[in-house]
Amino acid sequence: METFFGLVLGLLRHLAFNAVFYAIGCGLLKLVTLGRYPRLTPLRGGHWRHQVQDVDLVTLLGLLATVALLILMAHWLG
């Protein structure tokens, strides 16, 4: 039972992490590319594998942008 709760909590933590940083990365990409990217298409056929990779890259961009912003704030404030 403890393993099940650990699995569920780990999954929820992963989903929350991806949702927050995907939203930041998506907004940043839309701003930089003037709304052109990221394109969200329905998951059909064999294209879902490429779209999942794109989501991971957008999430990574959001994480990197957040870390860079925190470093800049720490440098400016003290």
Provide DSSP, 1-31.
-HHHHHHHHHHHHHHHHHHHHHHHHHHHHHH
pLDDT of residue 37: 82
Mean pLDDT, 10 residues at a time, the chain of 78 residues? 89 89 91 83 65 83 95 92
pTM above 0.75, yes or no: yes
- Structure-token match 């999954």, residue found: 11
pLDDT of residue 78: 78
